[in-house]
Amino acid sequence: MASIDISNVSKTYPGASAPSVSDINLSIRDGEFIVLVGPSGCGKSTLLRMVAGLEDITGGEVHIGDRLVNRVDPADRDIAMVFQNYALYPHMTVRENMAYGLKNRRTPATEIESRVAEAARMLELGPYLDRKPRALSGGQRQRVAMGRAVVRQPAAFLFDEPLSNLDAKLRVSMRGEIRRLQKRLGTTSLYVTHDQLEAMTLADRLVVLNAGRIEQVGAPLDIYHNPASTFVASFIGSPAMNLIDAEIRGSSLHIGATEVPLGSMQAAQGPVTAGIRAEDLQVTGHGLPFRVDFVEELGAQRLVHGHVEGQPLTLALTPDAALHDAFHLSIRPGALHLFDTRSGRRLPQPESGVFASRVLA
């Protein structure tokens, strides 16, 4: 078990004009579960593979424990990796697959046997030990891949979208299994996914990447409640946060012809992007005029899609709420996020006031 320190790490692929990952700084504590999340192509895998040693580091340093590993072979970094397509050796049985890494390290046979047995018990792979991967289901293969990582008892686990090839239901249960296993073993983990739900549920801390840079680092709820930018706001949370063009004049926010008083004089003046989560909107007698376009029933929730002042907006209602063609909405106190329109960065937030709005005549 060990901490991982990533300092000023960049990666430019040979022949590429721009770096795929630039200037990443991240300190991972011993035993922490870190999830890297971001859209496709943002450099998650690249960063992970640099930690694994599968990709050369073009700039910066990676430490595992107190050891600089930039030039260390993947085999000697004391890490184990789980791949999206499992990467099991097709010609070896489950047992051989798990034992292969240990055998190459000249672990005594009795030790190998006991570790494989232990991992098989933990992952409920006992009945399949003598099967080839071909004869296993996707979920079982994924468990073998995890078993292969577990038996090594490495300083860190690296996961690259390990659940993407599974169906939705299995993904949820495997997600729980990974979390349980990691808690139990206390092994430092770096986990890549583009699924924000997976990221939220697994992470001790979340790292949101965008175009090769860190957009925000923090506990999942922290990020959910205080997104550092419009990018994070739209990426984390489902449905995505509503982002609306608005303008601050004095102590109120103007959305089209509607005015939302913010309670006090604002430091930022002029155009802003206002972020409001779907569940932070309440139906009231007066306020933001909302026209319904269509409704999505989720069972526990009802998502109402529509427009406010010509801008798209999504609203989450309880299923028993009455539906009309038009509503008036108010924003839950303290739930308004303001972002700079141009840079997308978060602005100092208004004091929690009552955001009942008033239509200007």
Partner 1 sequence: MNRVRPFDHFVLILGTLFMVLPVAVAVMTSTHTAVEIHSHGLFLTPGGHGAETYATVLTRQGGFTGQVTGTRMMMNSLILGIGFAVGKIVLSMAAAYALVYFRFRFASFLFWIIFTTLLLPLEVRIMPSYQVMSDLGLLNSYTGLIVPLLASATGTFYFRQFFKSVPDELLEAARIDGAGPFKFLIDVLIPLSRTMMAAIFIIMFVYGWNQYLWPMLMTTEERFFTLMRGIKQILQVWVGSQIPDYNEAFALAILALAPPVLVVVVFQRWFIKGLTESDK
Ligand X SMILES: Nc1ncnc2c1ncn2[C@@H]1O[C@H](COP(=O)(O)OP(=O)(O)OP(=O)(O)O)[C@@H](O)[C@H]1O
**Cα–Cα nearest to 53, from 35, 80, 18:** 80
> Please, what is the minimum distance in Å from the beta carbon of residue 195 to Mg ion?
12
Nearer to partner 1, 91 or 249 (CB): 91
Please report, for residues 82, 123, 164, the alpha-carbon distance to residue 140 in angstroms, rounded to integers and kept in the order given. 13, 9, 14
| Range in contact with ligand X (rule: CB under 6 A) among 13-21, 56-64, 240-248, 317-325 | 13-21
40 binds ligand X (CB under 6 A): yes
Residues 42-81 that bind Mg ion (CB under 5 A): 45
What is the contact mask toward Mg ion in residues 121 to 160, using x (rule: CB under 5 A)? ----------------------------------------
270 binds ligand X (CB under 6 A): no
Near partner 1 by CB under 8 A: residue from 48, 52, 178, 336: 52
Q: Check: CB of residue 79 under 8 Å from CB of residue 64.
A: yes
Residues 123-182 that bind partner 1 (CB under 8 A): 134, 148
> Please, what is the minimum distance in Å from the beta carbon of residue 49 to Mg ion?
9
Near ligand X by CB under 6 A: residue from 41, 176, 186, 270: 41
Partner whose footprint covers residue 100, from ligand X, Mg ion, partner 1, none (CB < 5 to 8 Å by kind) = partner 1
Partner whose footprint covers residue 80, from ligand X, Mg ion, partner 1, none (CB < 5 to 8 Å by kind) = partner 1
Nearer to partner 1, 155 or 313 (CB): 155
Comparing every residue's Cβ against ligand X, the nearest one is 45
Partner whose footprint covers residue 40, from ligand X, partner 1, Mg ion, none (CB < 5 to 8 Å by kind) = ligand X
